[in-house]
Structure 1
Amino acid sequence: MRFDVYTPLLVSLLLPLVSPVIGRRVAPALAARVLASAAVLTAAAATWSLVLLATALLGDAPPLIREAHQDGRPLADPVPEVIGVAACVALAVVVRRVRRAVRTERRTRRTLRRLCEGHPRDTELVVAASQVPQAFAIPGRPGRILVTSAMLGALAPAERRVLLAHERAHLRHRHGQLVTAVTLAAAANPLLGPVRSAVIFLVERWADEQAATEVGDRGTTARALARAALSAGPGCALNFAERAVTRRIAALQMAPPPSLWPAAAAVLALGVGAALFAADATGDLLALLSNALT
């Protein structure tokens, strides 16, 4: 309990350090999955560790102390009281941040779905008349692709195929759910913010690779990305930050990265290890409380 309970917090520091390396060396589809999975496991374990640290304050409850003294039993103090109090405060912050993130995700989904109202359910592509070049993959049942007329007008026919293939990849591989999961993980554990950024970039790279495979031309895919980025500017759903676009275009000019399963497994092991250490700390705390109550 004294050491295991802090391990998920240590993993929360390690995961952001390894995520850029994994993002560069491992195929984006695999890297995005393992980083998101490790982030969710680590966030859950870290949150549970806070619960354990807060629960340790029960050992200071007057009835337990009085009963232990009457029976002549030593009462172990698993963590200092100040840490338990800090854990309670941190838990309150976590709950507030997660609730805010959930509300934001729901509000964004509702806004995007409203943009597609009035179209038949079997309509995949929705073209909105707008002078602002934008493109969105809207998850749901059914999933929709929303593209503005300005975006379509900025692209050549072959580049439009790339754009649609990119957005279809987001829908087909449920990238929205992946990003939502890692967003909630980062809300619960702010230390995982860099991992969220890495996963968002990787799902875009994943969709780029899928589009390049579908159209059969990495050069055309890179040109479509560059032209769409120049037209859309910051804030588009395609993640057109200047540095991100430069990296994505550079990646399309090289061979796809390999699926390095050992490296991916090592990252996933970090998240699994955090969960196992949290489970071990749970057993230790239960044993301490059981000794105090019997």
Structure 2
Amino acid sequence: MRVDVYTPLLLSLLLGAVGPRAGRRGAPAVAARVLAGAAVVSAAATTWSLLLLAATLVGAAPPVVADAREDGRPLPEPVPETVAFVALALLLFLAHRFLRAARAEYLARRTLRLLCEGQPPDTELIVAASPVAEAFAIPGSAGSPGRILVTSTMLGALSPEERRVLLAHERAHLTHRHARLSTAVSLAGAVNPLLAPVRHAVVFLVERWADERAAAAVGDRACAARALARAALTAGGRRPSRGLGFTDRAVTRRIAALQIAPPPRLWLPAAPVLALGALTAMSAADATGDLFQLLEPILVRG
């Protein structure tokens, strides 16, 4: 308990340092899935570790102390009370961050879906008259398909071949449910700020994943790179949008990646990330068992 309970926190720090580097070595589709999964597991494990630390305050409750003194039993002290109170304060703070992040995700989705109101249910592409160059993949809700929202300015800036790339890119976001991955790592990063580098890496990788799918769909990587470059130039220096945009996420790196052969779908670079995710869960499980053993006399008497 004295060591295992802190291990998930240390491993999540290591995941934040190693994960993005490992993600750059493999195919975006594999790397995004593995990093997102490891981030969710690590966030859950670190939250559980904080709960375990806060739970040790049970041993300091007045009724428990009175019973122990009456029976002449020593009180278990897995961690100092100061650490337990700090863990409790962190839990409250991280719960606030989680709720705020969840609300932001919900409002962003609702705003995008409101833009599609009034459209026929089988309409995939919605063109909005706007002077701003934008393109979004809008995930569908229960019973409704996803939509692609593109502004007239964006479409007007692209050639027919480049428009095919754009639409293939946005369809890839919808087909592979990239919004779920992005939401998952955003919430994981909210409850564990040490995972912020992983969140940024996954958001970038889902864009790279969609780039690769678009290049494969049109059969021309050079055309995909040109479309991405032209879309970025048309958008200019605007602030990145909340949607799964076609024009943000380290565009220069994405263009450079499209100018070389696609990366192989190898799982070997993902092995360290998978191992870190598994170790955080195992450490949290071990700490749970240790805490129950320490508090067993109190729980049985209660």
Residue 188 of structure 1 is aligned with which of 184, 188, 191? 191
Q: Which moved more, 1:63-72 or 1:206-215?
A: 63-72
Q: Which moved more, 1:279-288 or 1:138-147?
A: 279-288
Residue 216 of structure 1 is aligned with which of 194, 203, 219? 219
Matches within 5 A, 1:154-173: 154-173=157-176
Q: Does residue 3 in structure 1 map to residue 7 in structure 2?
A: no
Give, in whole Å, the separation in 1 of the partners of 2:69 and 2:266.
57
User: Could you tell me whether the CA contact under 8 Å between 2:228 and 2:251 is conserved in 1?
Assistant: yes
Aligned equivalent of 1:252: 258
Aligned equivalent of 2:288: 282
> Which amino acid letter does the alignment assign opposite residue 122 of structure 2?
D
> Which amino acid letter does the alignment assign opposite residue 131 of structure 2?
Q
SS in 2 for 1:263: helix
The structural deviation recorded for 1:164 is: 0.2
Give, in whole Å, the separation in 1 of the partners of 2:77 and 2:216.
59
Aligned equivalent of 2:122: 122
User: Could you tell me whether the CA contact under 8 Å between 1:201 and 1:239 is conserved in 2?
Assistant: no
Give, in whole Å, the separation in 1 of the partners of 2:271 and 2:73.
45
The structural deviation recorded for 1:263 is: 2.3
Residue 245 of structure 2 is aligned with which of 204, 226, 238? 238
Give, in whole Å, the separation in 2 of the partners of 1:2 and 1:198.
32
The structure carrying a bigger helix percent of its residues is 1
The structural deviation recorded for 1:272 is: 1.8
Give, in whole Å, the separation in 2 of the partners of 1:160 and 1:107.
29
Aligned equivalent of 1:16: 16
> Which amino acid letter does the alignment assign opposite residue 217 of structure 1?
D
Aligned equivalent of 1:33: 33
Give, in whole Å, the separation in 1 of the partners of 2:78 and 2:247.
49
Distance 1:48 1:239, change over 3 A: farther
SS in 1 for 2:198: helix
Structure 1 regions of 5+ residues with no counterpart?
none
Q: How many residues align?
A: 293
Task: Report the aligned-residue RMSD.
Answer: 1.3
The structural deviation recorded for 1:239 is: 5.8
Aligned equivalent of 2:278: 272
Aligned equivalent of 2:85: 85
User: Could you tell me whether the CA contact under 8 Å between 1:135 and 1:238 is conserved in 2?
Assistant: yes
> Which amino acid letter does the alignment assign opposite residue 229 of structure 2?
A
Q: Which moved more, 1:55-64 or 1:145-154?
A: 55-64
Structure 2 regions of 5+ residues with no counterpart?
none
The structural deviation recorded for 1:12 is: 1.5
Query: What TM-score do you get using the length of structure 1 for normalisation?
Result: 0.96
Query: What TM-score do you get using the length of structure 2 for normalisation?
Result: 0.94
SS in 2 for 1:147: strand
User: Could you tell me whether the CA contact under 8 Å between 2:189 and 2:195 is conserved in 1?
Assistant: yes
Give, in whole Å, the separation in 1 of the partners of 2:38 and 2:230.
35
User: Could you tell me whether the CA contact under 8 Å between 2:228 and 2:255 is conserved in 1?
Assistant: yes
The structural deviation recorded for 1:291 is: 2.3
